[in-house]
Structure 1
Amino acid sequence: MKKTVALLTATALTAVAAPAFAQDNTATFTGPRAEAIVGYDMARAGSSVDDDANQDNDQSIDGIMYGAALGYDVDLGGVVVGAEAELTNSSANTKFDAGDFEGFGFGNVKAGRDLYLGARLGVKAAPDVLLYAKGGYTNAKFDVRSNDGTTEFNQDIDTDGFRVGAGAEYALNRNTFVKMEYRYSNYSEAEIDFNGDIADTDRFDVDLDRHQVVASVGYRF
C-alpha cells in the first residue's frame, strides 16, 4: 500500500512539474536582457550631398563597431514586443590612400559614440527563433580633426536621426541568446560641440547614411 501511495504521489508530482518546466522553457523571449555587440560599421554622405562624379572620393568611412545594449521584452505568444537602449563606439575614420584623401563630406573625421533608443516587434518562427524589426532614435558624434600647421583642432559634430533594422534572435537556452542584425540609420540634423567656453552652434541640416551588420551575445534575466 505504501509503495502504491508513493508511486501515485511521484506520478502526480511529475505530471504537475512537467507542464511548468515546459512552460519555463518556451518563455524564451520575456524579461530584461543585456548583450554585447560587435560588427561592421559604414557611414557615408547621403544622397543629397554625395559626390559620385568624383571617383577618387567615395565619401565613406568604415570600421568595427562595438558596445552594449539593454532591453526588455514581453512575449505575447506568437508576437514579442520590446524596448531597448544601446551605447556603441566605432573605429571608422577617414583614410589617406596613395595620397588621395577620402573627404566624407565633412573633412577629416572619426566616428564617435552612438546612442540609440527604440523598440522592436517580432514573431516566433520557432519556439527558440525570433524574427524581428526595430526602429527608433539615434544620436551619434563624429570627431572633426584639423590642423593649421601649429594647432590641432578637434570638434564634435553631434547628429540626430532615426534607425530602422531587422534581425534574428536564437535562444541557446532559457537565459542565453545570440543575434544577427542589419540596421540603417540616417542623420538629418546636427550641431558642432566646441570644447571649452565657446557655445555650441545652432542646429543645421545634414544628410548622413549609416549601414551596420552586427552580431550580439546576451543574457536574459
Structure 2
Amino acid sequence: MRSMFLVAVAAIGLSATAANAQDTTSSNGTSFRGIRLEANVGGDRFQSQGVHNDKFGYGGTVGFDGQIGERIVIGAEGSYWRANDWNENCSGVNGGTVCHKSFEEYGAAVRAGVLATPQLLIFAKGGYVNNEQRKRLDTPTGGYYDHFNTSGYQVGGGVEYSLTGEQTRMPVYANVQYVYSQYNDNTSRQRVMAGVGLRFK
C-alpha cells in the first residue's frame, strides 16, 4: 500500500531529524550513517499456483542509518520494486487457463548490520510489503477477473561496501542483497539485487 510506504519515509525523516541533534562523529572512520538514496536492479521471481516466472526487475530505496557503538548499524527504509513489464504465471486448470500477475511492490523494513571493516557492512532486514496483483481465469464457458492488493512480510540480507571515505560530502556505496517476500494470498517473490546509492550526512 502506498500509504504504508509514505509512512515509512516519514518515519525515516523523523529519525534523521532526531539524529542530527546528536554528535554523529565516529572514531572508526565509517560512512555508514545518515539518509541514503539507492537505485536497485536484479532478478525477480514471482511464485504462485505452484509455478514461477523469472524476469529482470528494478526499483529504489530511501533509508536512514545510525550507529550503536563502533560496529553496529541500524536503520529504517522504504522500498519500491517492479518487474520489467510486470511478472505473470499462467497454468491450465479445468479446461481453461488461470493467470496470476504481480505489479508494484511497496515495502517498509528495519535493517541491522555489523561492520566487518569500516567500509564493509553485513546486514539483515525484515518488515512489511504490499503488492498489487491481478488474477484472471479463462474457460470455454466464461471466467472471472480480480484486481486487488495483498500484504505480507519481507526478510532478507546482504553486504554493502562504501566506495568513498567518511570525509566525502556525499559518500557513494554499493551493495548486493537477497530479499524474500511472502504475501497473504499464498504467493511470494524472491529478488537478487545489486544497488548503488548516495548518503547525505
Normalising by the residue count of structure 1, what TM-score does the alignment of the two structures yield? 0.66
CA contact (8 A) 2:28 2:118 kept: no
1:64: which partner in 2? 56
Change over 3 Å in CA distance of 1:70–1:154 after alignment to 2 = farther
The alignment of Structure 1 onto Structure 2 pairs a total of residues equal to 164
**Is residue 144 from structure 1 mapped to residue 139 from structure 2 by the alignment?**
no
CA contact (8 A) 1:145 1:153 kept: yes
CA contact (8 A) 1:30 1:73 kept: yes
1:115: which partner in 2? 106
Partners in 2 of 1:215 and 1:136 — Cα distance?
Answer: 19
CA contact (8 A) 2:132 2:148 kept: yes
Give 1:208's aligned amino acid.
T
1:164: which partner in 2? 155
Normalising by the residue count of structure 2, what TM-score does the alignment of the two structures yield? 0.72
Give 1:220's aligned amino acid.
R
- Matches of residues 72-221 of structure 1 in structure 2 within 5 Å? 72-76=64-68, 77-90=70-83, 91-94=86-89, 101=91, 107-145=98-136, 155-174=146-165, 175-188=171-184, 206-221=185-200
Gapped runs of 5+ residues in structure 1?
1-21, 51-58, 96-100, 189-205
- Which structure shows the higher strand fraction? 2
Gapped runs of 5+ residues in structure 2?
1-24, 166-170
The alignment yields a C-alpha RMSD, in angstroms, of 2.8
Tell me by how many angstroms 1:108 deviates. Answer: 1.6
Partners in 1 of 2:81 and 2:154 — Cα distance?
Answer: 14
